[in-house]
Each structure stands twice: as C-alpha cells, then as structure tokens.
Copies of this chain bind each other. A is one copy, B any other.
Amino acid sequence: MKTRDKIIQASIVLFNEQGERNVTTNHIAAHLGISPGNLYYHFRNKEDIILSIYDEYAGNLLLDTFPQVSDEEKPLDAIILYMDVVFQMQMKFRFFYSNLPVLLDKNQNLREKYVEVQHAISERLSQLLLSLKSAQAINFDEDELADIVSILRIINTFWVSFYQTQNIVKEVNDTIFYQGVLKILAILRPYITDKSLPELKKAKEMYQQRCQDALLNN
C-alpha cells in the first residue's frame, strides 16, 4: 500500500476509535511510524485528510454503488441494496457522520463536495422510487415524492447519531446497522402495494434475524 493510502486508512481507524477531534496529524504519523514531515508531504493538514476520505471513499463510493431497478431483480431488492450500502458506509466512516455539522462548518471545501454528492443522491433516490412506482411495488402521489426522499435521507444520515444519543453506553456494533435498515422498511411500509407486501415482510424478517444473530455474536 502506498503511504498516502496508509495515512487515509489509519486516519479512518483512529478517527472512528478515538473521535476525530481527539486525533492529531502527529498521532496519525506516530501510529504509522512515519515522520510528521512525511505525512505533510501528502496532506496539508487534518482537514485535508478528511476531505480526501470523503472525496475518494465515502462520497463517491455511494454514487458508484447506487443500485438501479432492472428486469432481473425484484424491485424492492434495489432499495434494500441501496440502504445496505448507505448503512455500511455509516459504520465504516462513523466519525464523519457522528460529527457532520461541525466537520462541514470547519471545512468549506468539504461542505461543497458533500452538498454536491447529497444532491446527486437525492436525484438518484427519487429516480429509484419512481422506478419502484412504475414497477407497481410502491405507490405514492407525485407531490409526496420530495418529502419521502428527504425523510429517507434524514434517517440515512443521522441514524447512527440518533442511536448513540439514546443510550447511556455508547456502543456501536452491527445490530445498529440492521436496525437502521428496519427503520427504512418501516417508513416505506405504508406505501408498499399489496402485491409487494410479502416481499417487504420477508425482508423485514431477514433483517430482524440478522439483528438477533449480531446481538448473540457480541
């Protein structure tokens, strides 16, 4: 692995474990056994590392892996696949999402990149919901679409933060990620057509099972 990539991967681990505000560039360099000068050759400062993490990994990965409704797949699978990606991202880059408003305040370049990716995601999520409507898997009035997209995105963005603020012990594990997907299914539930209800029920049971399995493995 190249030094630049090593710095990015180590930063993600340290930020997640210790909280971004408790980790300095010196900590990251010491953790990798490289000199601070070597780190500064690749990144100007910590904000520059965070921008690269979002730009090269989190943000673009979301767009690259965005699923589409196709003839080969069941329509609801596309949205579950998408939520899977989103919540895995939340777990992998949880330092980013648990401190999002502050990080964006500190870094205008990051804010601009983030807003750009978010608009692209809103657009694609709207298209995905419209495809599901065409496939008669869900049903909604056109004037409800923007609100449904917003609500899904709020849950996507803040689910881990919400979970962490509801408990005295702030533990993060895989059950949280499955519970997030279950919340998304709960939001979609009233819009699901009778035809697709068994598919939703099956998905719900699968995630409840995964949640229980993850609890036992903890």
Q: Which of B21, B162, B186 contacts A102 (CB 8 A)?
A: B21
**In the complex, A24 has a CB within 8 A of chain B:** no
A134-151 vs B, CB cutoff 8 Å, 1 = contact: the mask equals 000000000010011011
Q: A158-B161, A190-B190 are known contacts. Are A183 and B151 too (CB-CB below 8 A)?
A: yes
Q: Which residue on B lies nearest to A99, using beta carbons?
A: B102
Whether the pair A118, B166 counts as a contact (CB closer than 8 A) is yes
- Please determine whether A101 and B147 come into contact, CB atoms closer than 8 angstroms: no
A162 to chain B: closest CB distance in Å? Answer: 5
A114 at interface, CB cutoff 8 A: yes
Q: Say whether B104 contacts A102, CB under 8 Å.
A: no
What are the residues of chain B within 8 A of A161 when measuring CB–CB? 100-101, 158
Q: Knowing A162-B157, A165-B157 are in contact, say whether A147-B102 is a contact too (CB < 8 A).
A: no
* Copy total for this chain: 2
A183 contacts B99, CB within 8 Å?
no
Residues of B near A44 (CB, < 8 A) are: none
Chain A residues in the interface with B (C-beta under 8 A): 19, 21, 98-102, 104-105, 111-112, 114-115, 118, 144, 147-148, 150-151, 153-155, 157-159, 161-162, 164-168, 170, 182-183, 186-187, 189-191
Residue of B nearest to A147 (CB): B186
Q: Given contacts A118-B166, A153-B162, could you give 19 more A-B pairs where the C-beta distance is less than 8 Å?
A: A98-B101, A99-B102, A100-B161, A100-B165, A102-B102, A105-B170, A111-B168, A115-B165, A115-B167, A144-B186, A144-B189, A148-B186, A150-B183, A151-B183, A151-B186, A154-B154, A157-B158, A158-B162, A190-B191
A154 CA / B162 CA spacing, docked (Å)? 6
A77–B136 CA distance with the chains assembled, in angstroms: 34
Known A19-B105, A167-B115, A191-B190: A158·B151 in contact at CB below 8 Å: no
Assembly CA distance A104 to B164 (angstroms)? 9
